[in-house]
């Protein structure tokens, strides 16, 4: 797998393009204000992006969806339980004093236990509510292999967890999602968070203060 990552002010939210090693098949994850850098990487590598995948619908993760969709023509995927946030993107922007155009409507909703296929890539969609109701983590790897890297949005960070004080957030639900879904992955699994550096499941299992039992 090849991974292209970018972030841009004001939110410094990480956006990703994940591409198959062999083919040009790719997906784009959470296009935000850094979308132009991601689109440049897609053009430079002649990647064929088959899906625009959203981990959740907070403003910082969706501000680049319209540009990504216009440039790539790929369907936008979202969890239905975050539709209220997605449709409220303009209102979220006003909270930050930002003029935000509403993103195009989602094309598809994730279903329980589903995977999204993009050529040689498989993306397992894991519902992990808590930071928001429709939060998902995306486990991406080559088709036919169990190798996965996790794109967790704002569910888990290196040394921290997502905030739970926004509409639809719930602390106990978030901790349960992390324990029952993410910590089931092997220690060496690489974790790409929506903000900050990457980490591994093992590092968070050992030292994340929200996850270690005292």
Shortest Cβ 60–Zn ion spacing (Å): 4
C-beta closer to Zn ion: residue 1 or 7: 7
24 vs 166 by CB, closer to Zn ion: 166
Report how far apart, in Å, the C-alpha atoms of 171 and of each of 19, 64, 130 are. 33, 28, 6
Closest-CB residue for Zn ion?
A: 58
Judge whether 107 and 76 are in contact, CB under 8 Å.
yes
Nearer of residues 141 and 194 to Zn ion, judged by Cβ: 194
Q: Which is nearer to Zn ion, 115 or 164 (CB)?
A: 164
Q: Of all residues in the chain, what percent are helix, strand and coil, respectively (each to 5)? A: 25, 25, 50
Nearest-approach distance from CB 86 to Zn ion, in angstroms: 12
Query: Taking the complex as a whole, how short is the minimal distance between the CB of residue 117 and Zn ion, in angstroms?
Result: 26
The CB-of-147 to Zn ion minimum distance in angstroms stands at: 26
Six-digit token string for 84:
């209220």
**Beta strands 15-19 and 25-29: pairing type?**
antiparallel
Shortest Cβ 135–Zn ion spacing (Å): 8
Phi, psi dihedral angles at 209 (to 5 degrees): -60, -20
| Distance separating alpha carbons of residues 142 and 43, to the nearest angstrom | 22
Strand partners, 150: 139, 191
Q: Between residues 142 and 171, which has the closer beta carbon with respect to Zn ion? A: 171
Residues that bind Zn ion (CB under 5 A): 13, 58, 60, 154, 194
């Amino acid at each position: 797998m090849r991974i292209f990552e970018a972030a841009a002010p004001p939110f410094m939210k990480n956006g990703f393009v994940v591409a198959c090693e062999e083919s040009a098949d790719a997906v784009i994850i959470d296009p935000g204000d850094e979308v132009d850098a991601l689109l440049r990487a897609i053009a430079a590598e002649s990647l064929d992006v088959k899906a625009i995948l959203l981990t959740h619908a907070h403003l910082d993760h969706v501000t680049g969806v319209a540009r990504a969709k216009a440039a790539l023509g790929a369907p936008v995927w979202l969890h239905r339980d975050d539709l209220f946030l997605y449709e409220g993107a303009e209102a979220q922007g006003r909270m930050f004093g930002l003029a935000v155009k509403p993103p195009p409507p989602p094309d598809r909703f994730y279903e329980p236990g589903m995977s999204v296929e993009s050529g040689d890539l498989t993306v397992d969609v894991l519902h992990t509510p808590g930071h928001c109701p429709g939060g998902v983590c995306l486990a991406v790897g080559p088709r036919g292999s169990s190798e996965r890297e996790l794109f967790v949005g704002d569910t888990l960070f290196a040394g921290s967890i997502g905030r739970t004080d926004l509409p639809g957030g719930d602390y106990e639900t978030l901790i349960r999602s992390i324990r029952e879904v993410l910590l089931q992955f092997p220690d060496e699994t690489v974790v790409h968070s929506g903000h900050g550096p990457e980490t591994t499941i093992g590092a968070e299992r050992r030292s994340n203060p929200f996850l270690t039992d005292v």
